[in-house]
Amino acid sequence: MSTLSRAQDILGDLIRFPTISVDSNLQMIEYLKQTLTVAGAEVMIQSDPTGTKANLWATLGPKLDGGIVLSGHTDVVPVADQDWTEDPFEMSLRDGRLYGRGTCDMKGFIACCLALLEKVEADTLQRPLHFAFTYDEETGCLGAQSLVEELRSFPLKPAICIIGEPTGMRVIEGHKGCCEYTTHFTGLEGHGSAPDAGLNAVEYAVKYVSHLLEVREGLKARAPENGRFDPPWTTLNIGGLHGGVAHNVIPGKAHVEWEFRPVQNSDYDYVTGEVRRYVQETLLPEMQKNWPDANIVTETIGEVAGLEPMDTNEARDLVLALTGENDVDVVAFATEGGLFQSIGMDVVVCGPGYIAQAHKPDEYVELSQLAECLDMLDGIAARLAS
């Protein structure tokens, strides 16, 4: 069986695990653990606080400093309310494309990593090959944040990390950060016929959203000169506004889901500072003037650092050499790359599939993309054995 055929079979197995972020990924983690253990890897499982999800860290080869990390996330986005042609958790092949939830984002890369194992003998490696497979990347990179904290204390330090997010096998050396929040508003319920007798949480949530939109406009003027991102400024998005129970009830609860994606650290300070100041100096005092127990609380879902392009980047240079690419780029979407960079690794993002297919119904990855990825991974294995 060819390595590509093996990767296709593995991908079919992985797609059958419905690892939507709100659900457990433990069955898939057990599958990965067994496959890696059979190949001779030393495997560590790191559970989340609930015990329903886990990260996997594995090492193949000698216990030395350096080596290369192949990293991917096991979770996928929901399929609810999406119009799929076929069962999203049963992979199908049509016209050279493999369809199913996660084929592109990013179980295709993980399948290639596992298929590589059949061609690598642990005792031939001169430097270690590491595998990092995480939970809850889609909901704030929660798994990677926990894993990186544990790796920080490890005595042996990997040198390079390759994040296999779908880039069409282009070499990506930088991306924006991703900061996600839910802001909760507490007012006072009452009858809709007497609005002054209550405190409308939805109305204050709307004022909060209006201020966020003002901050968003201000970010455009802060775009760095010669910025390489598209768009070149920090973006801010309102993901949802929820509240109320009936037409004739003053809503006592509301919440706003929002995020921003900083292109520079100073924009993080700008956004959080502007929002905090507005809440503390204007919005909350206005609410509490009408009802002393009113409150606004912002819940941090995830704050993930961007991947900063570096003049010296061994990961970038290696992948350029292996893929034959001449150019590097940056992207607007976030990955776990900035987290691995924060503990001293050189990081690059390069993987099969295209982000345009991610998160959509009838998500797919092309077989030709998997083949290109396998060629790159073959080259990595050869470098580690030399």
What positions carry a catalytic annotation?
75, 137
b/e for 110-121, b at 16 or more Cβ within 10 A? bbbbbbbbeebe
Largest CA distance in the chain: 78
d(CA 78, CA 320): 34
Backbone angles phi, psi at 193, to 5 degrees: -75, -15
Backbone dihedral angles phi then psi of residue 36, each to the nearest 5 degrees: -70, -40
What's the chain's length in residues? 386
Rounded to whole angstroms, how far apart are CA atoms 352 and 369?
5
Residue 214: other Cβ atoms inside 10 A: 11
Rounded to 10 degrees, the C-alpha dihedral 284/288/290/292 comes to: 160
| The dihedral formed by the CA atoms of 255, 222, 307 and 298, expressed in degrees to the nearest 10 | -20
Q: What's at 177, amino acid-wise?
A: G
Instruction: With beta carbons less than 8 A apart as the criterion, state whether 349 and 175 touch.
Output: yes
C-alpha radius of gyration, the chain, whole number: 23
Quote the CA–CA distance of 151 and 163 in Å, as a whole number: 16
Contact 11, 66 (CB under 8 A): no
